[in-house]
Amino acid sequence: MAKDEPWLEQIAWGPDGLVPAIAQDTRSGRVLMVAWMNRESLRLTRETGRAVYWSRSRRRLWHKGEESGHIQRVCAIRLDCDGDVVLLEVEQEGGIACHTGRERCFYRQLDEAGRWIETDPILKDPEAIYGGGR
């Protein structure tokens, strides 16, 4: 597979075979989240046009939105100068990227007193997103 896809080999995969991937909303420009990718997840992301990550906790491919429906349509795939970070420009289905029901995972901001303040509202109750059995 790798031989047929030299673009994947131009990436400086970490010793664990992973690189971090940033998802940025194309419309708002907001940085939504950071997750991890291996070769297969990035290959599938390109092939399907939807973000596929590698879940380190579950040790399996994670088709973003597979439970929540909050898929990410990928408009562009970018790579940094060192080749070890991927940037996805995405359209976020439902306007919710975070498992807490917020638009983005970066919903906390440090205030002047040195406290992390939650600045973003919960748009949808996680129980309603994932079901109460979770």
* Interface residue list for a copy of itself (CB under 8 A): 5-7, 10, 20, 22, 24, 29-31, 33-34, 46, 76-82, 85, 87, 98-100, 102, 105-110, 114-116
75 annotated binding-site participant: no
Identity of the residue, 60 or 78, whose beta carbon is nearer to a copy of itself in the bound complex: 78
* Contact (CB, 8 A) for 37 and 21: yes
CA-CA distance, 52 to 10, in Å (whole number)?
19
Q: Least Å distance between CB 25 and a copy of itself?
A: 10
C-alpha torsion angle, residues 64, 21, 45, 18 (rounded to 10): -100
Identity of the residue, 93 or 100, whose beta carbon is nearer to a copy of itself in the bound complex: 100
Q: Least Å distance between CB 43 and a copy of itself?
A: 10
- List, as residue ranges, the binding site for Zn(2+): 81, 98, 105
- List, as residue ranges, the binding site for Mg(2+): 80, 82, 84
